[in-house]
Every structure is written in structure tokens, then in C-alpha cells.
Chain A
């Protein structure tokens, strides 16, 4: 553990920092290029997600007619669109990576002169960023063009838009940390299906994809708001719709920073232990 801290805190000159980050940048660009090749799949994904968005909005519209709520309908509609368009950021299966783990190619990857944690973190980030941007931009365009009860509303204000983007980026950092933790579990057990699907369920439920967190029972919301899941998309969306005041937004970003750091530290620790375990296994 001591060793770990020292590695973290080793002083770096700006020049050597740059040199040490370069490989990670290359990994990112590589993933970026691979992801942009799947444009055809992205189109199919967009159509499916738009359909789900429309269906959910139809459902909520009918629901609102029978029982008006404190959260206005337009806000829920916006919530649905932002959730659907950024869906890829939360769940993205890297089947190639799973294959590497199952076939034992992982030990080989561990031998690279890079921090494996950093390597996979960068990889996940590129994948999530490109995958979700490719889908989100056209989807949001469609959502903006749709007529009033169906379309997405504009952000509440200029600073809200800025804060939203910042919070979304923090959410991305956080979700990458989460998928690295899932990955650490997978490497440990070599069988991902059970644990990953359970983790995915937690993710889908508590980040507000199955049902907007704003529609959860009010008492629960106070607690759910603080969980790491809520930091991914729910928190940025609430800033976007103007539900939070400026001070609340700052507070939200603080919570995000806390969770991101905590999850990265946990993940890093788990990977570090895995690595030791693997070296022992290799004899």
C-alpha cells in the first residue's frame, strides 16, 4: 500500500509527464479510430434509442394526464432524451476485451510497459466517448426538431449549459472508473456474465435509465442523489434542466469529484492486487 502511494506521488517535471502520458494518448486515438468504423451499427442504435425515447414520452404523457406531478412534463421529456442519447456512455460492451480475458490473453497485455489500469481506463474512455458522441449528436438534433410535447427543451441558461458539459465530463470519468472495477472483477473470476449483469442492473436502475430518478419516491431521492450512479447522468441532467441553483450545481460537481477519485483509487487498488495475483499464478 505504501509503495502504491509513493508511485502516485512521485514528483514529475512537466516534460517527463508529457512523455509518460503519450502512450495513453496513442491508445486513446487507436480506440477512437476503431470506434468510428462502426458507423453502421451506430445508425441502428440511434433508431432503436429514438424509438424507446418516443415510447417513454408517450407513456409519461398519458401518466401525467391522470396525475399531475411537481416535476413538469417538459422536464421529464428532456430527462428521457438526454438519458437515451447518452445511453452508450453507461453501457458499452467491449466484446474484444472480454475475449482477451477469457482466452488468457490478459497476462500478455499485463506485460506492456504501461500501467494496465491507465491503459484500460483510456481505452474505456475512448470507447464510451466516441460511441456516445456518435449517437448523441444526431439523436439530440432529432429531439430538438420534434414539436413541443415530444421534443427536448433548451438548457435553462448559459451557465447551466456550461456546467452541464462539465458535469457530463465528470460523469464520463466516473463511469470509466466503474467499468474498470467491473473489469477487475471479471479478470478475477474469468466469468463476467453473472457479476456484470448484476452491476449493469444497478447501473440502469439507479442512474435513471429505467425510470427517471426524479420520479422515484421523494424520500428515496435524497439518498439516491448521493450514490455514485446518480453522478453519471442524473446530476448533469438536473443541472441542464435548471432544477439546481448555482450553488447546488457547484455542490454536485464536488460530489462527482469525490466519487470519481474514490472509484479510481478503489479500481487502481483492485488492479494492482490482480496484477500481483497473476504474476504469482504465472510462476
Chain B
């Protein structure tokens, strides 16, 4: 409870910091909306030309795109400290955090927020709603809860993937661009349903970085479609893979903090 209070207080303060530069904030939010709008535009042009991808139609793709966009940018917005970890190490903020009687991950989460990403999330919500309406989804309570569970699972998964980069930062200060394959690559790949891809990509994003399990399986259930030959009830279980990924990375993160403390800079 106490931790949540601290988090909310930090968020309030960081928002106030952002509002110290209102012009820059507005311009940036606008350009973020345009950027994500551009991505949506490209997807729509693709749908316009090809009409369908595998078993999916344009309206389905919009739904998938919306879910991925919302989830990814929720992390980029509220987990900014983790998704952009290398400045935390380089500026020495991590040292300051070690000097305070609180958990490091808590403090990293409290360190930064990027409200400009709210624009991207809005684009995602718009795509999701449009897709949902076009598919004429009948929203029931289980479906609504599943959507929330799926987004929460995806949030944890993406946070875990960003933590890989954070861990490499602590070891060598310079972050490795390669990890982007899982984070940004995962976003670009998995904004389309996983079953349109060949084997290796399928395995990569089902087993190694389970975007398919956290987002696609529940989305297919909500859309009354089938994906990966899984039974219907599985959709309620698979998003938990996000939690599992997070717990694994949480352990690794804590361990590498110990290592950081023994090398420092």
C-alpha cells in the first residue's frame, strides 16, 4: 500500500516536471500521435491492398494492432524507467537509489514516466474499438476480464523484455541494440497474429518471448476465432506466461544488482 502511495506521489511530481515545459510537451505528444498514426496508416494501406492475411480479415488485424499498441505503450509510458534504463545507470541515479531504504525496482518505476505516450495509447484504443465494432464482438464479462488480463500479462512480458536490456546496462553501461529484436521487434512482428509467420518466428514469439500467449490467444478467443490449435479455456491461462517471464527477469535483475554493487563505477 505504502509503495503504491509512493508511486502515485512520484508520478504526480514527474508530471509536474513535464508541465514545466508545456510547449515542448504538446509538440512531443502531437508528434507521438502522428508517429503511431503513421504505423496505423501503413497497416491500413496493407489491409486495403491485400484484404486478408491467412484466416484474418482487416477488421481482425485492427483489433490485434490495437491490443499490441495499448500494451506496448503502457509500458513505455509507466515503465519508462525500465524501458529507458541506460540513462539511469549513466547519470548515477542508480547509485542514489541504492542509498535509499526502498526496493530498487520500485524506485526505478518511480524514476520516470512518459505521458507523451498517452497519445499512442489513444491511437491503440481507437484501433481496438474500430476493430471490435467492425467484428461485431458481443462483449461479455469474461471477455472483458480476459482483455484486461491479457493486457496485464503483455505489460509484464514487455517489462521483462526491457529488463534484459537493463541487466546488460548494469554490466557494461553501454546497452546492446540486439535486445531490440525482442522488444521493438516483438511489437512490430506481433501486431499481426502469430499464425501468419513461419515456424522459427512462431517459436521465437511463443516460447522465448511469449507475445502470442499473452496477447494473441486471448484476442483470438475474444474474436471467436482459433489460433495455435488451443482449446477455448486456454485463453484464460496463457496470459499468465507474462507473469512467469516477469518473475524470472525479476530474479535475474536482483542478482545483477548484486553484481553491479560489487563493480560499480
Contacts of B48 in A (CB 8 A): 217
Interface string of A76-116 (1 = CB under 8 A from B): 00000000000000000000000000000000000000000
A246 within 8 A of B: no
Interface string of B168-199 (1 = CB under 8 A from A): 00000000111011000100110010001110
Q: Is the CB of B28 within 8 A of A193?
A: yes
Q: Interface size of B by Cβ–Cβ distance < 8 Å?
A: 35
Contacts of B198 in A (CB 8 A): 58, 61
Q: Is the CB of B45 within 8 A of A45?
A: no
| Chain A: number of interface residues, binned into ranges | 20 to 34
Contacts of B252 in A (CB 8 A): none
Contacts of A55 in B (CB 8 A): 185, 188-189, 197, 201
Interface string of B64-105 (1 = CB under 8 A from A): 000000000000000000000000000000000000000000
Contacts of A211 in B (CB 8 A): 42, 45-46
Give Cα A211 to B34, complex, Å: 16
Of residues 203 to 228 in A, which have CB atoms within 8 Å of B's CB atoms? 204-205, 210-211, 215-217
Q: Is the CB of B45 within 8 A of A66?
A: no
Q: Is the CB of B28 within 8 A of A194?
A: yes
Q: Is the CB of A205 within 8 A of B50?
A: no
Q: Which residues of A contact B (CB under 8 A)?
A: 41, 44-45, 47-48, 51-52, 54-55, 58-59, 61-63, 65-67, 69, 191, 193-195, 197-198, 201, 204-205, 210-211, 215-217
A-B contact list, 20 entries, CB within 8 Å: A44-B180, A48-B180, A51-B181, A55-B185, A55-B188, A63-B46, A65-B54, A66-B50, A66-B52, A67-B51, A67-B52, A191-B24, A193-B27, A194-B27, A197-B32, A201-B34, A201-B38, A205-B42, A210-B38, A217-B45
